[in-house]
Amino acid sequence: MLGNIWLSSALIVTAIFSAGAMYKSYSDIQEAKQIQEHYEIISEIKTLLAKQYNKNPDEITRDDIIANLPKGENWEKVLLLDRNKDSNLSNKELVNETGNFEISEDEKLKLLALKAKLKDVIDVTSIEPVDKKYTFEVGKVEKNRVLKDIDIEENLTKAIHFLADEILYNTSSNKETTLNAILNEFTPYDKLYFDFLKTGETTISEQTLKDRQKEYFKSRIKDRLYQNENALETRLYKELKDIL
């Protein structure tokens, strides 16, 4: 009988420890997912702010992020701290003052999760700890894209300016000829970095790529004119809407 009681007690203790280990494992997995998801969210916020204020994502600070979080909810704690309920920006920050992720050397799971997320983006083997903390730059991937988007906007502005000169103030101009000439001159082929392949295609000729990039740029001109942000764009849209 004593043997049975001892065996039952041992099983109960084992079950308690197993349940505790399972919960710890589940909690660790959730924290690993959180660190990866929050990196993406912060990266998106920095990219949006960079476009809005015409600067690089690596210039966006934690204060900039906080100032643009939705009001009325505890987004600061959700996004910028670890999962510990007692954490604050001075003792357990996840995003440091410069807006980058900072992880303690002993937080192995967080470190591995973030390295896994960034393995094809940043050379994580070259990152060395400082004061036993690893710092990962957020927005690094988006930096060049933001610059290219700014260049595209500048080309749009130039294209619309020259279209207005030729079509609104030069009545002898042929609209289609003028539009094609402007597209050939101002389409920023080297700045259109995304994929122009269609479903099922694995490759396209250089000329086909340029034609599709030009069509895309033309659609951006149409979108800009359709917004009618000023009188000139309103007039130009009326003149070009049938051929854009």
Over residues 127-158, the pLDDT tens digits come to 788 888 888 888 766 666 666 677 888 899 99
Q: What is the residue whose two structure tokens read 């007692």?
A: 86
Residues of the domain holding 59:
8-136
Does residue 171 sit within a domain?
yes
Boundary-marking domain end, from 103, 136, 169: 136
Does residue 93 sit within a domain?
yes
131 and 149 assigned to the same domain: no
83 and 100 assigned to the same domain: yes
Does residue 37 sit within a domain?
yes
Does residue 3 sit within a domain?
no
20 and 109 assigned to the same domain: yes
83 and 166 assigned to the same domain: no
124 and 153 assigned to the same domain: no
What's the angle, vertex CA 88, arms to CA 107 and CA 129, rounded to 5?
35
Of 87, 48, 83, 88, nearest to 64 by C-alpha is 48
65 and 160 assigned to the same domain: no
Predicted pLDDT of residue 21: 44
Determine phi and psi for 140, rounding to 5 degrees: -60, -45
**CA 183 to CA 221: how far, in whole Å?**
10
17 and 129 assigned to the same domain: yes
Does residue 187 sit within a domain?
yes
Over residues 151-191, the pLDDT tens digits come to 888 899 999 999 999 998 887 778 999 999 999 999 999 88
114 and 18 assigned to the same domain: yes
**CA 148 to CA 170: how far, in whole Å?**
32
184-203: burial string, b at 16+ Cβ within 10 Å, e else? eebbbeebbeeeeeeeeeee
Average pLDDT over residues 108-130: 78
Predicted pLDDT of residue 160: 93
Does residue 13 sit within a domain?
yes
How many domains, in total, are found in the chain? 2
Distances (CA, A) of 87 to 83, 114, 137: 8, 20, 22
149 and 131 assigned to the same domain: no
Of 99, 106, 100, nearest to 63 by C-alpha is 99
Boundary-marking domain end, from 87, 105, 136: 136
With a pLDDT cut of 90, the percent of the chain lying above it is 16
92 and 57 assigned to the same domain: yes
> pLDDT grade, residue 11 (50/70/90)?
very low
Does residue 1 sit within a domain?
no
- The answer to whether the pTM exceeds 0.95 is no
Question: Which of 9-23, 113-127, 211-225 is modeled with the greatest confidence?
Answer: 211-225
Question: Which of 69-78, 119-128, 130-139, 192-201 is modeled with the greatest confidence?
Answer: 130-139
Boundary-marking domain end, from 120, 136, 152: 136
Does residue 2 sit within a domain?
no
> pLDDT grade, residue 29 (50/70/90)?
low
120 and 158 assigned to the same domain: no
196 and 230 assigned to the same domain: yes
